[in-house]
Structure formats: structure tokens, C-alpha cells
Amino acid sequence: MARLILLTQRAFAAAIAPPLKAAGADIEIAETLGDLQAALSSGTDDTRLISFGSGLIVPGEILNRLQGPAYNFHPGPPDYPGIFPSVFALYEGAAAFGVTLHEMIREVDSGPIVAVVRFSIPAHADRLALDSAAFSALMKLLEHNARALANVKTPLPRTDERWRAPRRTRKDFEALCRLPEDVTPEEFARRYRAVGEGPEHALTLTRFGRTFKLASITSGDVVRGGQPV
């Protein structure tokens, strides 16, 4: 039986594994680099690696051990490669967003693209709303391609879609989170809409030699990737 190694967060596994199991694949979950190395220690025959909602960058030497392409579900369109694509789309006032299925290569978010799903961003959507919409689109993309992904001997067809620069990094995100001392109400609102609140999302302001972090005043659930945590 074909084996799919799902590189994902445990919180996502219950949602993403069933469509792939239904397509006839044996599923193994990996969350860390150690998990991934252990999964591959038994061999790579009839094995495909799929990354979904993982922040782990897979080393090139691991990708080279696989007999065919590994695939990643990126929570943004090709216009926004890199970290937290929804944040930068909202900050730039993008009218549309989307998700991308692509082959994994050594350089992050640069491999050949298999499929893109695009959708409009509602006028008043914040990061939470956009991440939730992106997760729903990712699930539809997964379900649509589940049978092809489970056929590990055959690579998925590529499209003519291309990634666009720049590739956003954590350094770019951290810079966006740092409010200038003379921030205007308009710029604060723009950044707050984009960054939001959460474990990895908080605006900061440095004054008097100290850095202050925005504390949440909302009582709603914290979410990651559109899912409660």
C-alpha cells in the first residue's frame, strides 16, 4: 500500500488524514524533524511526503531521499510566498487571496506549482477571518487532489503559475509588528487588522527603553490556521 507521511501539527491531523485514507493511502503523522527522520528510516519505497500547516522547513537532503516529489499546501497564493501570507495581504490591502499546492524543493515556497485556489477578501475581514477562509480553501484543495496524492508513483501535473517576489520572512513580520513611536491611528488600524492577536501575533511599541506588547482584550478562542487551539 502507498504510504503518505503527513508533516503537520497534531491539531490538524484529524481533519486532513481522512480524505487521504479514503483515497487508499496508509498515513503516518510527523510533527518534528525527528518524527520525519524516524518515519523515513524504514525506507522510502512507495512513500510520499506531504506538508500541511507545518512551520518546519524540510532539509534538502531529506527531499533528495524521496523517490518522487514531496508536496506542500501553502496557506497563501503565489503572490505571497513565505511566512504568514494573510498578514502581508491584509497589510497591503489586497483584494484577493488564495492557497497553493506545490512541489517542495530546497528553497522555501519556490517549487513548481500544481494548483491554486483564489477568492476575494471581504472588505472588513481581519486576519482571523482570512486565515479561516484559507483553511477551508486548503481543505477543498486537499480533498480535490487526495486521489492523485495517494498515487505515489505518479507526480501531480504542474501548472504555468509562478511564484512572485518578495518572499516574506520572520524578519519582515517582526518589523511589521514594531509600531513606530509616531504611529498614526490609520497606520495602527492597518497593522492591527493585518497582525491581529495571538501567540505569534502581537503589535509592540518601544518607548523609554522598554518594549510594550499589545495585550488581548478579546475573549474569543485563539486560533491557528483557522482552527481553535
In this prediction, residue 216 carries a pLDDT of 64
Query: Which pLDDT tens digit goes with each residue over 18-63?
Result: 999 999 999 999 999 999 999 999 888 999 999 999 999 999 999 9
What per-residue confidence (pLDDT) applies to 228? 41
CATH code of the domain occupying 3-150: 3.40.50.170
For residue 157, what pLDDT band results from cuts at 50, 70 and 90? very high
pLDDT of residue 223: 47
Nearest of 193, 92, 97 to residue 137 by alpha carbon: 97
Q: What is the pLDDT of residue 217?
A: 59
- What digits encode the pLDDT tens for the residues 93-120? 999 999 999 999 999 999 999 999 999 9
Name the phi and psi angles at 104, rounded to 5: -95, 130
DSSP, res 180: -
Q: 149, 20 in Cβ contact below 8 A?
A: yes
Q: What does the pLDDT read at residue 222?
A: 43
pLDDT of residue 9 exceeding 70, the answer is yes
Residues written for the chain:
229
**Contact 168/80 with Cβ under 8 angstroms?**
yes
pLDDT at 129 over 90: yes
Q: In whole angstroms, what is the distance from residue 36 CA to residue 64 CA?
A: 14
Q: What is the pLDDT of residues 182-215, one digit of tens each?
A: 999 999 999 999 998 776 778 998 888 888 888 7
pTM strictly above 0.85: yes
The residues, ordered by sequence, that sit 6+ positions from 141 with a Cβ below 8 Å of its Cβ are 73, 99, 101, 115, 117
Binning pLDDT at 50, 70 and 90, where does residue 218 land?
A: low
Contact criterion met (CB below 8 Å) for 164 and 96 = no
| pLDDT tens, residue by residue, 75-93 | 999 999 999 999 999 999 9
Q: Which residue has cell 505515489?
A: 152
Q: Which amino acid is at 171?
A: K
Q: What pLDDT does 145 receive?
A: 97
Query: Where in the chain are the domains?
Result: 3-150, 170-228
Distance of alpha carbon 164 from alpha carbon 162, whole angstroms: 6
